[in-house]
């Protein structure tokens, strides 16, 4: 343990040298918005909602992948950050097809909560409406790429917690899609163990069990971290 | 319970009723096909498969040698057929999704055949000004090929590049690996015919 002192929003705070800004903020009850972060799995800095301002740097840095340094002066919220958070969330809406009224995750969706929290009433950007498939080949679950926000939480939970690595990301830019195996239908995957962890990791309604309807998808994302902690204890 | 007899029974049930609703869909979970195994045993004598296998062995089946091995496979086959990806994934003990994501991330790798001969038209600024579009239009009119398409007999594929760095030769075209500069649309067509016909003659000999 190497304790250092940093400054967050004008308050002096003690932190461990190896921690990320996000971890320190969560420990000290300082609010940071996140979407692609999930306790128990690694961070990739994909959603850009946790951006913070660091004194001496012109760029905003993602709190989830930036490590604390001695005497770092961090601002977690200001007008600039709020503006970017709004833009990011609106772009998430505009990129694919998010219609809460018909979504299984209605009322239990992190994107919906985020939109309400940031008081977004309109999407200022044209919707892209890309040609996305819906994979219903798995006997128990459905994957709807129209609702995916590419946070890659399912990919990381499958790789790191379940160890199956059924999911990954193909392509780049607008063409990115979550794929199972060799872009084979989910039901024909040779690696999927049908454990359902990706379903609990998904922040939106992109993965859900068959035979449920609008607003009925209730998830237990905390289960992933509990599982990781329990496995550590078993060692 | 998951022994061979059980699996065989499941396969029989599914095959019998595969087009009806009688099969509970969860049974498909127990059907694991081995695409790589079958294909590789059928093509074990194919020198291109041998080349990929040798490269994997040379790289000591290291997972981080994936890109080098994909290069070898793409050079041998001209593109990356799916069974070869299965073969490489099995060999390096990499998840299939990781192999596929690497292949689709880099523009160099192609899942579809690029054709036996390729005609790459430079569409950089200098070539565009000097008439690259006229060449592309001619190819589309006479051969019916747009950018990224391949003829039905897989003889010729047309591609475009932003700039090949030969602006002094504008408009430039790369036929297979030869760069041709200051070309007219008719010249390109003539050279393509020469290429494809030479191939036909070599094939009949």
Give A176-201 pLDDT, tens digit per residue. 999 999 999 999 998 999 999 999 99
pLDDT of residue B203: 47
Question: What is the CATH code for B117-204?
Answer: 3.40.30.10
Q: How far is CA B149 from CA A127, B78, B100, B142, B157, in A?
A: 29, 15, 22, 14, 6
Cβ distance B26 to A139 less than 8 Å, yes or no, reads yes
Would A86 be classed as within a structural domain?
no
- Partners of residue B95 in chain A, C-beta under 8 Å: 159, 164-166, 168, 181, 191
Contact A147, A103 (CB under 8 A): yes
pLDDT top residue among B84 and B35: B84
- Domain spans of chain B, in order of start: 33-105, 117-204
Contact state of A165 with B86 under an 8 Å Cβ cutoff:
no
The verdict on A140 touching B (C-beta cutoff 8 Å) is yes
Question: By the 8 A CB rule, do A59 and A51 touch?
Answer: no
* Cβ contact, residue pair B29, A194, below 8 Å: yes
Question: Please, which residues bridge with residue A20 across strands?
Answer: A67
Average pLDDT over residues A71-100: 94
Of A139, A167, A180, the CB nearest to B28: A139
Contacts of A159 in chain B (CB under 8 A): 95
Q: How far is CA B31 from CA A80, A135, B34, B184, in A?
A: 54, 18, 10, 57
Looking at the complex, does the CB of residue A179 fall below 8 Å from at least one CB of chain B? yes
The CATH number linked to A64 is: 3.10.20.740
Answer whether residue A224 is part of any domain.
Answer: yes
What pLDDT digit, counting tens, does each position of A124-165 carry?
Answer: 999 999 989 999 999 999 999 999 999 999 999 999 999 999
**Phi/psi of residue A51, each to 5°?**
-60, 135
- pLDDT value, residue A220: 92
* The pLDDT of residue A119: 95
The neighbour count for residue B8, using CB atoms within 10 Å, is: 10
Structural domain range at position A61: 3-77
Q: Say what the pLDDT of residue B36 is.
A: 61
Q: Considering only A118-132, B17-31, B186-200, which range has the smallest mean pLDDT?
A: B17-31
Q: Does the interface predicted TM-score (ipTM) exceed 0.95?
A: no
Q: Which of A23, A44, A77 is the last residue of a domain?
A: A77
Nearest CA in chain A to B88: A182
Q: Is the peptide bond before B171 cis (omega within 30 degrees of 0)?
A: yes
- Phi, psi dihedrals of residue A190, rounded to the nearest 5°: -90, -15
Residues of B in contact with A139 (CB under 8 A): 24-26, 28-29
CA-based nearest residue to A109, from A121, A118, A100? A100
Average pLDDT over every residue of B163-181 = 90
For residue A178, what pLDDT is reported?
96
Residues A118 and A221 in one domain: yes
Kindly determine whether residue B97 and residue A194, on different chains, have CB atoms separated by under 8 Å.
no
What is the model's pLDDT at position B31?
47
Q: Does B201 touch chain A (CB under 8 A)?
A: no
Domain boundary (A27, A44, A77) is at A77
Q: Residue A109: which CATH number?
A: 3.30.70.20
The answer to whether residue A204 sits within a structural domain is: yes
């Amino acid at each position: 343990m190497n304790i250092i002192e940093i400054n967050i929003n004008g308050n002096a705070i003690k932190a461990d040298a190896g921690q990320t800004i996000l971890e320190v903020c969560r420990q000290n009850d300082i609010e940071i918005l996140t979407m692609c972060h999930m306790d128990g799995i690694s961070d990739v800095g994909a959603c850009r909602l946790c951006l913070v301002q660091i004194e001496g740097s012109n760029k905003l840095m993602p709190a989830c992948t930036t490590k604390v340094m001695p005497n770092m002066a961090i601002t977690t919220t200001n007008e600039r950050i709020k503006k970017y958070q709004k833009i990011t969330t609106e772009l998430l809406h505009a990129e694919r097809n998010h219609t809460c009224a018909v979504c299984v995750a209605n009322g239990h969706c992190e994107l919906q909560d985020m939109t309400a929290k940031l008081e977004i009433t309109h999407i200022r950007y044209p919707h892209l409406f890309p040609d996305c498939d819906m994979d219903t080949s798995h006997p128990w679950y459905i994957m709807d790429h129209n609702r995916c926000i590419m946070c890659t939480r399912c990919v990381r939970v499958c790789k790191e917690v379940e160890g199956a690595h059924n999911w990954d990301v193909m392509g780049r830019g607008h063409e990115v899609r979550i794929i199972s195996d060799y872009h084979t239908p989910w039901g024909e995957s040779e690696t999927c163990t049908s454990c359902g962890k990706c379903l609990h990791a998904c922040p939106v309604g992109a993965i859900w069990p068959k035979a449920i309807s609008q607003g009925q998808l209730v998830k237990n994302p905390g289960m992933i971290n509990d599982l990781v902690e329990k496995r550590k204890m078993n060692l | 319970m998951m022994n061979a007899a059980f699996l065989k029974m499941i396969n029989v049930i599914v095959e019998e009723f595969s087009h009806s609703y009688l099969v509970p869909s969860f049974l498909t979970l127990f059907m694991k096909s081995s695409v790589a195994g079958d294909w590789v045993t059928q093509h074990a004598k194919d020198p291109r498969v041998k080349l990929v296998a040798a490269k994997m062995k040379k790289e000591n089946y290291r997972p981080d040698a994936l890109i080098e091995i994909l290069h070898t496979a793409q050079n041998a086959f001209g593109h990356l057929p799916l069974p070869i990806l299965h073969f490489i994934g099995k060999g390096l003990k990499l998840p299939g999704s990781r192999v596929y994501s690497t292949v689709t991330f880099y523009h160099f790798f192609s899942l579809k055949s690029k054709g036996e001969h390729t005609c790459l038209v430079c569409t950089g600024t200098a070539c565009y000004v000097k008439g690259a579009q006229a060449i592309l239009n001619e190819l589309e009119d006479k051969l019916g090929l747009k950018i990224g398409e391949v003829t039905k007999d897989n003889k010729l594929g047309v591609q475009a590049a932003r700039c090949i760095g030969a602006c002094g030769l504008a408009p430039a075209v790369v036929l297979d690996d030869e760069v041709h500069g200051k070309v007219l649309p008719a010249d390109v067509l003539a050279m393509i015919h020469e290429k494809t016909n030479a191939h036909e003659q070599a094939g009949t000999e």
